[in-house]
Chain A
């Protein structure tokens, strides 16, 4: 079983739609959680950290469910510029290295 699992998509949505991605992780002792965004042929960039209480940044909302070991990302009012691959990322106990999911591809259409 992969440490971090995501639906690869693609998710094809119209502009203005709300879309949600989920991610599950296998290590119950994982400490930190993130969503990274990766544009085609570019490096990953941090989109947002995910905190236990849930957090929001503009149109983006991230939530963590430790009991079920999943993380979610909600994007409201999708823009064409949101088209990218979204990587779910987890850091384990005492480890500084991160474990990446293989990504969920989002395509926002006009």
Chain B
């Protein structure tokens, strides 16, 4: 049981290049999320998917697109990378827990640098 996995772990891009961050979970969770974390700031939600076939914008969606490929996989795409997108990206998944709490489980993160 791997939980939430992310690839790649590290990536360096030049400005204008594109890439897709992959995320998969094996916990049969319906909801999946993409966050970014910058120094001195909390995790900020980019996009989330409440269930297979649905996606919704979060707090900072500009410059990103997502695909909920199936129940297990949720990918994040940068079409034209910018230095402002240098960050650590975390994928997470959840299912209603005790008292409907929706506790989230995170992947190990992708460290992205855009030069």
Using CB atoms and an 8 Å cutoff, list the residues of chain A in contact with chain B: 4, 8, 31-32, 34, 42-46, 49, 51, 87, 91, 96-103
User: In the bound complex, do residue B42 and residue A51 qualify as a contact, i.e. CB atoms below 8 Å apart?
Assistant: no
Question: Can you report 23 A-B residue pairs in the complex whose CB atoms are below 8 A from each other?
Answer: A8-B40, A31-B100, A32-B101, A34-B103, A42-B109, A43-B90, A43-B108, A44-B106, A46-B105, A49-B103, A51-B99, A87-B43, A91-B101, A96-B94, A97-B45, A97-B48, A97-B58, A98-B45, A100-B42, A100-B43, A101-B42, A102-B40, A102-B41
Which are the 3 A-B pairs with shortest beta-carbon distances? A100-B42, A43-B106, A100-B43
A49 to chain B: closest residue by CB: B101
Q: Which of B54-109 contact A (CB under 8 A)?
A: 58, 90, 94, 97-109
- For residue A21, give the distance in angstroms from its CB to the closest CB of chain B: 14
Q: Per-residue CB proximity of B31-61 to A under 8 Å, as 1/0?
A: 1010100001111110010100000001000
Query: A46-B104, A100-B42 given. 12 additional CB < 8 A pairs?
Result: A4-B42, A31-B100, A32-B99, A32-B101, A43-B106, A43-B107, A44-B106, A49-B99, A98-B104, A102-B40, A102-B41, A102-B42
Say whether, besides A42-B108, A97-B58, A98-B104, A49 and B98 are in contact (CB < 8 Å): yes
List residues of chain B with CB within 8 A of the CB of A102: 40-42
The 8 Å CB contact of A96, one of B40, B42, B99, B102, is B102
- For residue B97, give the distance in angstroms from its CB to the closest CB of chain A: 8
In whole angstroms, what is the CA distance A45 to B109 when docked?
12
List residues of chain B with CB within 8 A of the CB of A97: 33, 45, 48, 58
In whole angstroms, what is the CA distance A49 to B97 when docked?
10
A6 to chain B: closest residue by CB: B42
The 8 Å CB contact of A44, one of B31, B90, B98, B100, is B90
List residues of chain B with CB within 8 A of the CB of A43: 90, 106-109
The 8 Å CB contact of A34, one of B41, B48, B101, is B101
In whole angstroms, what is the CA distance A96 to B51 when docked?
11
In whole angstroms, what is the CA distance A97 to B104 when docked?
9
